[in-house]
C-alpha cells in the first residue's frame, strides 16, 4: 500500500516549522485564507518574526490590522527611503508595551521621539537581541541616553548592536554592559574602554568596532599592559579606521584566545602593517589560536609609480607560515588612476568592493595557478564599476572563459557612466558578476546628456534586461538639475520587477508620467535641486491617486511610500 499526504493534512507541528521559512505577509495575507484549518493554525501560532524592511504600504496596513503584538518574537522597523515615517506610523497603531514577549528588536534610522516612546514602554524580560541605528546620536537628548543605558544594564541581552560610542552608554551605572552579552557591535571606543569591555563582559564571544582610539588626550599612545582578560572573545572585527602596526599590536595583545580577526584598515604605505614578516612574528607570539585572518589594508598616501616595487609587498607573505601552515593568500593592487595601494587577504573580506580592470591597476598575488581563485572571492556582496574604463585585450577577465561569474554573490551593484564611448561590454560584465543575482542596482550618469545619446540609452536598456531580478533601482545624474527628456521611454526600460525606484526628475509632469506608467512601484524617491518648489503639488496629486500614501521631504528630494492605487469610475477624473 502507498500513502500520500498534502499540505492541508500535515500535523500542526510541521506547519509551524514551515512558518519559520515564510514571511509574515505570506502567512497572514495568503496562507491564512487557504482553508478553515489553516486559519485556525495561523491564529494559534505565536512565534511571528515581523520584518518591515521593503514592505509595501498596503501590506503594512493589512498586517497591522491583523497583528497580535503578544505573538511577535522578532521585530524590524525602519525609516528608510523606501518606508518613510514607518516607525511613527507603527507606533500610532500600537503601544510598545503590548509586545510583551519580544525577543529581538531592530530599529533603523529611528527618530528621537519615537525612540523615547519605545524605550519608555519596552518589555525586557524576554529581550535577547537589540539593534538601534540612529542617523545622529550626538543630537539626542540626555534623557534618551540615560534611559537606554539603564535598559541595557537591566536587561539580559545576548546581542547588542548600536551605532554609538561606548562612552554614550556609560551614563548612570557601572559597568554599562550586561555580563550576558555574547555579541557586541559599537561605533567606537578608546583603548581604555576596550579593556573595560573585555574585563566585564566575560561571556562575550564576538566584538565588532568601527574604530578604537589609541591615543590619550595629550596625543600620546596608550601603553600596552600584560594583563590577560578573562574574556571568552574569539572573534574580533575592526574597521574601517586609520591605524599603525604599533597600535594594532597593543590592541590585539589583550586577546590571545582569538581564532578569527577581521581588519579593515587605512594606513601609510611604509607602515609595517603591510609587512607579512611582522604579522607572522606577532601572530606566532601573541595569537597562537588564530585560524582565520581577514584583512583589507588601504594606504592613505599617494605613491609615485616610478619609486614603487609592487612585488616587494607580497614577498613577505610567501613564507611557509602563510602558504603551507595556514593557507592564507593575499593580493596587492596598485591603482594607477589614483596612485594608491591596497593589500588584502583572499577571500576578499570587504563586502563592498571597487573593481578595477588591468588597464587601471598593477596586481600581484600569492595564489598559484593550481588554486582556483574564483573560489576565493565569493564574499563580495556589493560592487562598484566604472563602465567607461578601457578594457585591454590582455585583461584577465576578457580572456578567461569562466564556468561561473567571477563575483557570484554580488547582490548590490553600482555603475558609473560618464557617457564616453566605448562602454564596458556586456560580455565582460557577465564574466565579472552574475547579473541575475543583482537585486539592487544603481546607475550614476555622470554629467552626460542621456536624452540625446541613443547609444547610451540602448546600452542602459541592455543592462536592465540582464538584471531582470532587481527590486530596487536608482538612476540619477550627478547634477540633479538634468533629467531624462523622454520620461516615457525611460519607463519602458524599467523592468516590472522593480518595486522601489530612486530617480532624478525635472518637473511635476515627469513625476506624474513615472507613477502613471509604473503601477508596480511600492515606493519612489524623486531627486531635483528645485523639488521644494512643488512639494505641495506632488502631495496633492499623490493623495488623489494613491490612498494612504506617506511623503517625506529630504535634501533636494521627496520620498513616497505608495499606498493603494485609486481606481476612478469616472474617466475624466483620471486626467490631470
Question: Which class for 11: exposed (0-12), middle (13-18), buried (19 or more C-beta within 10 A)?
Answer: exposed
Burial of 198 (0-12, 13-18, 19+ CB in 10 A): buried
Residue that the C-alpha cell 619609486 belongs to: 307
pLDDT for res 572: 42
Asked if residue 106 lies in contact with residue 137, where contact means CB atoms within 8 angstroms, the answer is: no
Mention every residue, 6+ apart, whose C-beta is less than 8 A from residue 467: 413, 435, 436, 438, 441, 495
pLDDT for the residue numbered 394: 41
pLDDT value, residue 482: 53
Cα separations in angstroms, 551 against 134, 499, 559:
20, 17, 6
CB atoms within 10 A of CB 489: 12
Query: What angle do helix axes 245-252 and 276-286 make, rounded to 10 degrees?
Result: 20
Give just the sign of the alpha carbon dihedral 474, 483, 464, 494.
positive
CA distance 142 to 37: 51
Position 35 scores a pLDDT of 92
What residues have CB less than 8 Å from 230, skipping those under 6 apart? 199, 202
Contact indicator for 165, 192 with CB cutoff of 8 Å: no
pLDDT for the residue numbered 321: 97
* Residue recorded with cell 591596497: 342
How far is 397 from 429, CA to CA, in rounded Å? Answer: 9
- E-state strands within 46-119: 48-51, 72-78, 104-108
Asked whether 428 and 402 are in contact (CB, 8 A), the reply is: no
**Cα-based torsion angle of the residue sequence 536, 537, 539, 541 in order, rounded to the nearest 10 degrees:** 160
pLDDT means over runs of 10, the chain (576 residues): 66 93 92 92 94 95 94 96 97 95 96 93 94 78 86 92 77 72 90 87 93 80 68 89 90 92 87 93 96 90 69 92 95 86 90 81 82 64 78 47 72 84 75 90 76 75 89 79 66 92 91 93 94 92 94 94 80 40
pLDDT value, residue 177: 86
pTM of the model: 0.88
DSSP assigned state of 550: E
Amino acid at each position: 500500500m502507498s500513502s500520500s499526504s498534502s499540505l492541508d493534512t500535515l500535523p500542526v507541528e510541521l506547519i509551524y516549522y514551515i512558518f519559520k521559512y515564510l514571511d509574515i505577509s505570506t502567512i497572514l495575507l495568503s496562507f491564512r485564507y487557504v482553508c478553515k484549518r489553516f486559519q485556525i493554525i495561523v491564529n494559534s501560532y505565536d512565534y511571528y518574526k515581523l520584518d518591515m524592511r521593503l514592505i509595501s504600504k498596503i501590506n503594512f496596513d493589512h498586517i497591522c490590522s491583523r497583528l497580535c503584538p503578544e505573538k511577535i518574537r522578532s521585530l524590524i522597523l525602519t525609516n528608510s527611503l523606501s518606508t518613510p515615517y514607518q516607525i511613527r506610523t507603527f507606533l500610532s497603531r500600537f503601544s510598545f508595551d503590548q509586545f510583551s514577549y519580544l525577543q529581538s528588536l531592530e530599529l533603523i534610522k529611528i527618530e528621537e521621539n519615537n525612540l523615547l516612546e519605545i524605550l519608555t514602554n519596552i518589555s525586557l524580560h524576554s529581550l535577547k537581541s537589540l539593534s538601534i541605528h540612529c542617523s545622529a546620536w550626538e543630537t539626542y537628548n540626555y534623557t534618551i541616553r540615560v534611559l537606554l543605558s539603564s535598559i541595557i544594564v537591566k536587561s539580559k541581552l545576548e546581542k547588542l548592536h548600536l551605532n554609538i560610542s561606548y562612552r554614550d552608554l556609560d551614563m548612570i551605572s557601572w559597568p554599562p554592559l550586561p555580563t550576558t552579552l555574547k555579541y557586541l557591535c559599537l561605533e567606537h571606543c578608546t583603548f581604555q574602554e576596550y579593556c573595560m569591555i573585555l574585563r566585564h563582559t566575560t561571556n562575550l564571544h564576538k566584538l565588532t568596532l568601527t574604530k578604537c582610539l589609541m591615543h590619550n588626550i595629550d596625543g600620546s599612545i596608550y601603553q600596552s599592559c600584560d594583563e590577560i582578560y578573562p574574556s571568552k572573545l574569539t572573534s574580533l572585527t575592526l574597521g574601517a579606521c586609520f591605524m599603525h602596526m604599533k597600535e594594532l599590536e597593543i590592541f590585539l595583545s589583550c586577546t590571545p584566545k582569538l581564532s578569527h580577526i577581521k581588519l579593515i584598515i587605512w594606513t601609510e604605505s611604509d607602515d609595517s602593517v603591510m609587512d607579512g614578516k611582522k604579522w607572522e612574528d606577532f601572530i606566532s607570539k601573541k595569537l597562537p589560536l588564530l585560524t582565520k585572518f581577514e584583512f583589507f589594508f588601504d594606504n592613505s598616501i599617494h605613491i609615485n609609480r616610478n619609486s614603487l616595487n609592487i612585488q616587494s609587498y607580497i614577498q613577505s607573505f610567501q613564507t611557509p607560515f602563510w602558504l603551507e601552515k595556514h593557507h592564507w593568500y593575499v593580493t596587492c593592487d596598485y591603482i594607477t588612476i589614483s596612485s594608491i595601494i591596497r593589500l588584502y587577504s583572499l577571500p576578499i573580506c570587504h563586502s563592498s568592493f571597487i573593481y578595477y580592470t588591468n588597464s587601471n591597476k598593477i596586481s600581484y598575488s600569492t595564489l598559484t595557478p593550481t588554486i582556483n581563485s574564483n573560489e576565493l572571492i565569493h564574499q563580495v556582496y556589493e560592487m562598484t564599476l566604472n563602465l567607461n574604463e578601457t578594457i585591454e585585450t590582455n585583461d584577465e577577465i576578457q580572456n578567461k572563459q569562466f564556468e561561473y561569474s567571477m563575483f557570484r554573490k554580488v547582490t548590490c551593484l553600482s555603475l558609473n557612466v560618464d557617457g564616453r564611448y566605448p562602454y564596458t561590454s556586456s560580455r565582460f560584465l557577465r564574466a565579472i558578476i552574475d547579473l541575475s543575482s543583482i537585486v539592487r542596482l544603481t546607475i550614476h550618469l555622470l554629467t552626460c546628456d542621456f536624452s540625446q545619446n541613443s547609444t547610451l540609452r540602448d546600452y542602459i536598456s541592455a543592462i536592465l534586461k540582464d538584471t531582470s531580478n532587481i527590486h530596487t533601482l536608482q538612476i540619477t545624474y550627478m547634477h540633479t538639475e538634468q533629467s531624462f527628456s523622454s520620461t516615457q521611454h525611460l519607463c519602458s526600460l524599467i523592468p516590472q520587477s522593480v518595486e522601489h525606484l530612486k530617480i532624478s526628475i525635472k518637473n511635476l509632469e515627469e513625476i506624474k508620467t513615472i507613477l502613471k506608467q509604473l503601477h508596480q512601484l511600492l515606493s519612489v524617491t524623486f531627486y531635483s535641486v528645485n523639488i521644494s518648489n512643488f512639494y505641495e503639488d506632488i502631495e496633492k496629486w499623490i493623495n488623489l491617486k494613491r490612498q494612504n500614501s506617506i511623503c517625506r521631504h529630504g535634501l533636494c528630494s521627496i520620498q513616497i511610500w505608495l499606498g493603494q492605487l485609486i481606481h476612478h469610475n469616472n474617466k475624466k477624473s483620471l486626467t490631470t
